[in-house]
Structure 1
């Protein structure tokens, strides 16, 4: 049997998604389909998570039919758009939460979302929040609620020898957020050690309609690598089939595609379009020279990593649409040095 840590020799997340959902074009429907169907970021079976990783399982035929109806039925599509228009947010995590909440509500599994727990003392400060409380009779016929902490995360691996911890393994803090304010290790420690323990606080009993019988993390997202890796240490707990991309600076981007035989199209993705692989009218895309100019202008104005979709042009029967085949973060010149410094400090603290 092949080592479970080996990178699967299967199609990319982009190719799989385009093949699975060729009829979906509505951005909200595509993002929801990706959330339900994409590989988890964390491995359900990894011992380090002690069974506390939630998994939605394969998309059932009836759910797939419902997603297609969301695309094609004007009434259902309007319901989704009206739901997403209420209290709009520029935060990607909030956008993803609203999509998943809509699905759980429509499937009649949602008991509560973003349910706050407050201290009953004089200050009444917020102690925490249940992202989702759900009941899934087809999964668990018993009484009680499932507590899900839901996260959609994007981390870049800044891999240097100094990042090895004392055991010689690559620490999860080596995966850092594009703005360097977060890391995979820090996020998962917070979820496991704090957020999933919320139901045990005495104040939680005051807001819970039923006992919480399980508390798990549902984590979706993409990881980005400077160089391709064939495997990751099993102890890190990352799913082998996770969605992945690359990261580099603008100069390396041109070099990366210098020997590309066919034409490529590039698209700078707004934050709320980071979930599903892009499918857009080709008129939104840029060629290499144009995207280099756009990257230079944006990085000069704000030196922060930018998400770039690399797309192919339309094939037969695909109209004027361009389809994402790869994605990556284009980082400013000093980002790598700052990322490496942050990781070194994180490893020392651990």
Structure 2
């Protein structure tokens, strides 16, 4: 049975991002700290050096030793990070990632403003600055995004518009056009001028994320970073038949909660049963206080961070995905894991999508809801 792209890299001797991350950051086990480490360490999704982006892509560069030591200190004592995140309900992965980056920039002493809204009047919001940062004497405007896209292999030659969000709501092409045409121009709007301590010297987008490819699809696309984080995607029927992620007969899996989509997964191996939600100090509250408990279990399993999980075999993954599809017909992220010293460590990841995902993508293109 064929393996997914990352598994193929492992068997061929090529080091995957998951392997590099574990080698460098394996001492970090708290979900929040690992997520922050990934945001700082992960390759840019878009290649800053590509002429395609005309110098409008920001990059953090290598993690400096002082930042690595700071992350290790947060692993020992996460109280400052926990306080920055607060006890709020995070249902949006992008907002969670943005809060982590705001914490980092603030600790580095470079944060001027985060989430600064620009209004033409009380009822007219023009836009919002994700980050205003100090860089020497310069003022930088950075728009920030963490994105997960699946390559639609039925849409012809690969392009940014064929990298589609799991929920079929947007594409990488649409996202970047909006970012460049509107968001990065915000500093020039008259309503923004009174809010700025000085003119913005440079406006760029910092984009992190993972791209997911069907088996056999090429991973090279001009403008995408050559070393970007990647995984596979398959339909549920393909997965159940042993394609992509179900390639290894004795492979173990974890269905990944949304708030752990960022960093390669590392959780304690639990006994038999479902993943254990919210069982440690890093657990993210799944729902606001006072919301109905009856809505909890399925929602917790799909969103909230976990610090332990029971590994599943491929047949159990199929059943778990089917149960998820009963609530929402959206791709489910699954990590293939290996057990090391009581920890389940991610070796590759993929989305398991509804069998009609390609057909629904095609229908949305025909309706004009996705670009051709």
Q: Establish whether TM, by shorter chain, passes 0.5.
A: yes
- Give the structure-2-normalised TM-score: 0.81
Q: In the alignment, is the contact (CA less than 8 A) between 2:237 and 2:355 conserved in 1? A: no
Q: Deviations over 1:233-291 (max 9, x none)?
A: 32xx1111110011112232241256526x32211111111100000112212122222
1:159 corresponds to 2:159: no
Q: Name the residue aligned to 1:27.
A: 31
Match of 2:297 in 1: none
Shift of 1:297: 1.7
Secondary structure, aligned partner of 1:292: helix
- Given candidates 300, 304, 312, the residue that maps to 2:338 is 312
Match of 1:300 in 2: 326
Q: Which moved more, 1:147-156 or 1:268-277?
A: 268-277
2:252 aligned with 1:248, yes or no?
A: no
Work out the CA distance in 2 between the residues paired with 1:130 and 1:62.
28
Structure 2 residue 225 is matched with structure 1 residue 239: yes
Over the residues paired in the alignment, what is the CA RMSD in angstroms?
2.1
What's the counterpart of residue 219 of structure 1? 207
Aligned match for 2:174, one of 183, 186, 196: 186
Aligned to 1:70: 74
CA distance in 1, matches of 2:156, 2:143: 28
Q: Which residue of 2 aligns with 1:95?
A: 96
What is the aligned partner in structure 2 of residue 326 from structure 1? 348
Aligned residue in 2 for 1:277: 264
1:322, 1:349 → 2: CA distance?
Answer: 39
Instruction: Judge conservation of contact 1:163–1:344 (CA < 8 Å) in 2.
Output: no
Task: For residue 299 of structure 1, report the CA deviation from its aligned partner.
Answer: 1.4
Q: Distance in 1 between matches of 2:221 and 2:348?
A: 24
* Structure-1 residue corresponding to 2:296: none
Deviation at residue 47 of structure 1 after TM alignment: 1.1
- 1:344 CA drift (Å): 5.9
Q: Which runs of 5+ in 1 are unaligned?
A: 1-6, 138-142, 165-169
**Deviation at residue 324 of structure 1 after TM alignment:** 0.6
Alignment partner of 2:143 out of 146, 149, 155: 149
Residues 17 and 125 of structure 1, relative CA distance in 2, 3 Å threshold = same
Moved more, 275-284 or 333-342: 333-342
What's 1:131 paired with? 130
Take 2:175 and 2:75, find their aligned partners in 1: how far apart are those partners? 34
Q: 2:111, 2:142 → 1: CA distance?
A: 11
Q: Which SS does the other structure have where 2:135 is aligned?
A: coil
Aligned counterparts of 2:30 and 2:140: Cα–Cα separation in 1: 30
Change in CA separation of 1:145 and 1:276 when aligned onto 2, cut-off 3 Å: same
Tell me the distance in 2 between the aligned counterparts of 1:102 and 1:258.
38
1:336 to 358, 364, 367: 358
Residue-pair matches, total: 321
Distance in 2 separating the partners of 1:67 and 1:117: 33
Q: Give the match's secondary structure for 2:201.
A: strand
Verify the 8 A CA contact 1:267 1:309 in the aligned structure 2: yes
Are the counterparts in 1 of residues 236 and 352 from structure 2 also a CA contact under 8 Å?
Answer: yes
Cα shift at 1:90: 1.1
Corresponding residue for residue 174 of structure 1: 162
